[in-house]
Structure 1
């Protein structure tokens, strides 16, 4: 059980595996202002930047769960670097069925609602670990502009325009699930640029170092088309944000 090599190659330098800058992650932490000792469960935690930086900045404690052994190794190293290894722990496993042994104050799934089969299932999954009055964090794409054709849909890594909602409809969906939206921090076009452009550089450096690898042809083809595809489709049409929810 692990992520594909191609994914970890593209995002080998990333600390945040979403179109979210370090500053935006910090803004979210400042907005929520968790008290020291707040317990956090981060499902599909990636390289652990949320847990590690919030442990440093706010004194939270918590656990991250992810299927990527590569990213978990980075998360543990980051915890040591920031001197928070006593506050956070990282577990290799399938986040789609992970429930905390004891209720947590914040349950997070930032950018991986596929673990619950979508937003509704992920909210239900997080609720199973959350204490009464706790906060859920959901990171999710939305349409900045309605895609005009199927090429735009596929250029945003979707199969159908129905895969994502417009922002007002996404916020309404949270309400239909019985949640109040109590905070949100949205990515912008620069956030997207920082996220995907780093993938291009990671890919090019890997290709230069591994020209004979079995993935070289695939990643070379991706790198050839990715910048224009991003500028034409994803940058213009796809938004992304983290939404803080509380049960009504």
Structure 2
């Protein structure tokens, strides 16, 4: 049970595995007005930056679950680096079936709603771990601009234009599921650049060090075509944000 090796290679230098900068992650923590001792569950936590920095800056406690052994190892290392090993813990496992032993103040799935089969299923999953007055965090992409044709859709790494909603539609979806949107922090093109462009350097460094690896041809082709595809399509058409929800 693990992530594909190619994914780990692409994001080998990333602390945040989404188009979110450390500044935006800090902004989100501040916007939520987290109280010392608040409990946080982060499903598909990646390398643990949310839990580690919020434990350091806001004195929260928490647990993160991720399917990647490499990312969980990095999360534990990061917790030690910032001195919060007594406040957060990380579990290697399938986040799609994980429910907290006790209800938490904040339940998050930031950028991985595939664990619930989409937004509605992920909301149902997180609700099982959340206190009645708690805050749910969902990180999700949306259309900044509606694609004019299927070439744009494919260039944005989705199969159908209906796979993403425009921002108003996404916010309305949260309402239809019975939640108030009480905060949001959105990625911008600069934070998208930092996420995607860092992948290109990671891949190039890996290719230089592993030219004979079985993945080399695939990742070389990806690096050859990826930057132009990104600036032509994804950068222009896809937005992303983290939305804070409270049950009505």
CA displacement, residues 144-191 of structure 1 (integer Å, 9 cap, x when unaligned): 000111111111110000000000000000000000000000000001
Q: Which residue of the partner structure matches residue 237 of structure 1?
A: 237
Give the TM-score normalised by the residue count of structure 2.
1.00
Q: Which residue of the partner structure matches residue 112 of structure 1?
A: 112
Alpha-carbon shift at residue 84 of structure 1 (Å): 0.3
Q: Which residue of the partner structure matches residue 169 of structure 1?
A: 169
Q: Which residue of the partner structure matches residue 210 of structure 1?
A: 210
Paired with 1:149 and 1:47, the residues of 2 have a C-alpha distance of 36
Q: How does 1:1-248 map to 2 (within 5 A)?
A: 1-248=1-248
CA displacement, residues 64-94 of structure 1 (integer Å, 9 cap, x when unaligned): 0000000000000000000001100000110
Root-mean-square deviation over aligned CA pairs:
0.4
Paired with 1:186 and 1:83, the residues of 2 have a C-alpha distance of 29
Give the TM-score normalised by the residue count of structure 1.
1.00
State the number of aligned residues. 248
Alpha-carbon shift at residue 102 of structure 1 (Å): 0.3
Spell out structure 1 runs of 4+ moving beyond 4 A: none
Alpha-carbon shift at residue 48 of structure 1 (Å): 0.2
Describe the SS at the equivalent of 2:53.
helix
Paired with 1:7 and 1:28, the residues of 2 have a C-alpha distance of 26
Alpha-carbon shift at residue 16 of structure 1 (Å): 0.2
Alpha-carbon shift at residue 33 of structure 1 (Å): 1.6
Describe the SS at the equivalent of 1:90.
strand
